[in-house]
């Protein structure tokens, strides 16, 4: 059995970042920026008024000063005339400030009669001008790799980047295995259960930017498993669920081996998730997850998510644990790294008493995985421990 850290290292060795494709800006949200992109323009492209008011000369600003209004500048409509001494231009938010003027007084601070304005006595000294390039300049760079969120999309739009270079989405084939499984919505036989893992994993990986392909449930026969592997053939990553243990019907490893899988490892010193396997299957990386629902989701979080990130060109790195204090004591840990379902509240971290790897209801109530090193001693309330937010 290898450690979680060794298993992750071996997994990262199986994958490298996928190629770059160009997508329209509207399709770029959630994607991984693959190359640095440079702003195609300067923003704002001109000195712009940040307020509705009057543009004039700063050196003419004094209490009770009067100015004649000689024209107007609105957003999208620059003032093209000439404003001399003692003159001002009616200006609106977003309009270019005329070249010869350098101050905008807000309209609340003036009294207007006809074409004449008089400055009030207690106006503040702010010029209310956004300088050209104050946001960004042409050539300024958004650095890759970067997961593009809504705010990045707004910035790219503002930079006039209509097409965005992103890493191709990794195609992940998810293959549930087992004679006992039926799909949600179907009527299970008396000895059957509903396939849940593939749905949880698909949601987990799609949230990371993967394109998930659900392979029909493979039965516990060599022929059915071969058919399912065939359907998964052109994926970047094949994730099998179940059939990974040592029982007579656990056929995933032997069938994968028959299909040429070069195994990197089998079994990791962790709980849940011990019978994890990984290797290379043709062009694809393969991860064989244990079938127990919590094991599958925990291994999905600890191993599959970082692999998907590595395929997307993000830094190949394990999830970074955080620290919190215990709100309840813990018994000593065994020889495997233990990922315990826990709740983090303002009192600290509390692990659930029941940690069996079949209990999805407890996983769903948990908001954290409390991470315990192998052979960790008993822990008292108030001690610091590591956890991963869920």
Ligand X SMILES: Nc1nc2c(c(=O)[nH]1)N[C@H]1C(S)=C(S)[C@@H](COP(=O)(O)OP(=O)(O)OC[C@H]3O[C@@H](n4cnc5c(N)ncnc54)[C@H](O)[C@@H]3O)O[C@H]1N2
Q: Which stretch binds ligand MOO (CB under 6 A): 153-161, 174-182, 266-274, 378-386?
A: 266-274
Residues 6 or more apart in contact with residue 146 via CB below 8 angstroms = 32, 33, 152
Closest distance to ligand X from the beta carbon of 240 (Å): 9
Q: Phi and psi of 9, rounded to 5°? A: -60, -45
**What's the CA gap between 347 and 369, in Å, rounded?**
16
Q: Is position 301 an interface residue for ligand MOO (rule: CB under 6 A)?
A: no
With beta carbons less than 8 A apart as the criterion, state whether 87 and 61 touch.
no
Buried b (16+ CB within 10 A) or exposed e, 90-114: bbbebbbbbeebebbbbbebbeeee
Q: Is position 337 an interface residue for ligand X (rule: CB under 6 A)?
A: no
Q: Which of residues 216-245 bind ligand X (CB under 6 A)?
A: 241-245
Q: Which stretch binds ligand MOO (CB under 6 A): 39-47, 289-297, 324-332, 341-349?
A: 289-297
Q: Is position 205 an interface residue for ligand X (rule: CB under 6 A)?
A: no
Size of the site for ligand X (CB under 6 A): 25
With beta carbons less than 8 A apart as the criterion, state whether 290 and 275 touch.
yes
Closest distance to ligand MOO from the beta carbon of 276 (Å): 8
- Omega into 145 within 30° of 0, i.e. cis? yes
Q: Is position 290 an interface residue for ligand MOO (rule: CB under 6 A)?
A: yes
Q: Which does 244 bind (CB under 5 to 8 A by kind): ligand X, ligand MOO, none?
A: ligand X
Nearer to ligand MOO, 161 or 270 (CB): 270
Closest distance to ligand X from the beta carbon of 387 (Å): 22
**What's the CA gap between 69 and 56, in Å, rounded?**
10
Q: Which stretch binds ligand MOO (CB under 6 A): 196-204, 207-215, 265-273, 374-382?
A: 265-273
Nearer to ligand X, 178 or 306 (CB): 178
Q: Of the candidates 177, 292, 314, 368, which one interacts with ligand MOO according to CB under 6 A?
A: 292
Residue 23 CA neighbour count, 13 Å, CB half: 19
With beta carbons less than 8 A apart as the criterion, state whether 277 and 303 touch.
no
Closest distance to ligand MOO from the beta carbon of 335 (Å): 12
With beta carbons less than 8 A apart as the criterion, state whether 300 and 200 touch.
yes
Q: Is position 60 an interface residue for ligand X (rule: CB under 6 A)?
A: no
Residues 6 or more apart in contact with residue 179 via CB below 8 angstroms = 219, 220, 249
DSSP state of 50: S
Q: Of the candidates 64, 124, 150, 246, which one interacts with ligand X according to CB under 6 A?
A: 246
* DSSP string computed for 190-243: TT-EE--HHHHHHHHHHTTT-EEEEEEEEPSSHHHHHHHHHHTTT-SEEEEES-
Nearer to ligand MOO, 273 or 313 (CB): 273
For ligand X, what does the binding mask look like between residues 281 and 320, x meaning CB under 6 A? ---------xxxx-x-------------------------
Q: Is position 250 an interface residue for ligand X (rule: CB under 6 A)?
A: yes
Q: Which of residues 166-195 bind ligand X (CB under 6 A)?
A: 176, 178, 180-181, 193, 195
Closest distance to ligand X from the beta carbon of 253 (Å): 10
Cα-Cα-Cα-Cα torsion 180, 183, 186, 187, nearest 10 degrees, comes to 20
Closest distance to ligand MOO from the beta carbon of 299 (Å): 8
The token pair that represents 128 in the structure block: 């209310």
Selection from 31, 36, 29 nearest residue 144 by Cα: 36
Closest distance to ligand X from the beta carbon of 272 (Å): 6
* Sign of the dihedral defined by the CA atoms of residues 235, 240, 246, 248, in that order: negative
Q: Which does 197 bind (CB under 5 to 8 A by kind): ligand X, ligand MOO, none?
A: ligand X
Nearer to ligand X, 18 or 244 (CB): 244
Closest distance to ligand MOO from the beta carbon of 187 (Å): 28
Q: Which of residues 353-382 bind ligand MOO (CB under 6 A)?
A: 357
Residues 6 or more apart in contact with residue 255 via CB below 8 angstroms = 222, 225, 226, 229
List residues binding ligand X (CB under 6 A): 176, 178, 180-181, 193, 195-198, 241-246, 250, 272, 274-275, 290-293, 295, 357
- In the complex, which residues of this chain contact ligand MOO (CB under 6 A)? 271-275, 290, 292, 295, 357
């Amino acid at each position: 059995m290898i450690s979680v850290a060794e298993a992750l290292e071996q997994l990262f060795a199986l994958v490298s970042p996928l190629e770059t494709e160009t997508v329209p800006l509207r399709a770029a949200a959630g994607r991984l920026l693959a190359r640095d992109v440079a702003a195609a323009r300067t923003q704002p492209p001109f000195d712009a008024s940040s307020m509705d008011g009057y543009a004039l000369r700063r050196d003419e600003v004094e209490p009770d000063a009067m100015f004649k209004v000689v024209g107007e500048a609105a957003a999208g409509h620059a003032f093209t005339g000439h404003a001399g001494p003692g003159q001002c231009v009616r200006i609106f938010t977003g309009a270019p400030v005329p070249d010869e003027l350098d101050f905008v007084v807000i309209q609340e601070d003036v009294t207007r009669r006809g074409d004449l304005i008089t400055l009030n006595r207690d106006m503040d000294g702010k010029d209310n001008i956004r300088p050209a390039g104050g946001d960004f300049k042409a050539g300024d760079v958004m650095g890759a790799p970067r997961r593009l969120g809504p705010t990045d999309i707004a910035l790219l739009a503002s930079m006039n980047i209509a097409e965005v270079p992103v890493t191709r989405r990794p195609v992940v084939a998810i293959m549930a295995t087992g004679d006992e499984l039926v799909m949600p919505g179907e009527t299970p036989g008396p000895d059957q259960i509903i396939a849940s893992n593939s749905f949880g994993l698909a949601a987990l990986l799609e949230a990371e930017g993967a394109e998930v392909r659900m392979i029909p449930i493979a039965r516990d026969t060599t022929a059915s498993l071969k058919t399912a592997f065939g359907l998964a053939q052109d994926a970047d990553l094949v994730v099998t669920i179940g059939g990974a243990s040592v029982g007579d019907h656990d056929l995933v490893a032997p069938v994968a081996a028959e299909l040429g899988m070069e195994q990197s490892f089998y079994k990791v010193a962790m709980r849940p998730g011990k019978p994890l396997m990984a290797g290379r299957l043709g062009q694809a990386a393969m991860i064989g997850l244990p079938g127990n629902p919590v094991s599958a989701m925990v291994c999905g979080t600890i191993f599959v998510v970082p692999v998907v990130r590595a395929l997307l060109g993000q830094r190949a790195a394990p999830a970074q644990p955080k620290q919190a204090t215990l709100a309840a004591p813990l018994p000593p840990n065994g020889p495997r790294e233990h990922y315990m379902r826990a709740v983090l509240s303002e009192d600290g971290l509390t692990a659930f008493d029941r940690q069996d790897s079949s209990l999805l209801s407890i996983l769903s109530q948990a908001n954290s995985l409390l991470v315990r090193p192998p052979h960790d001693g008993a822990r008292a309330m108030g001690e610091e421990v590591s956890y991963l937010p869920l």
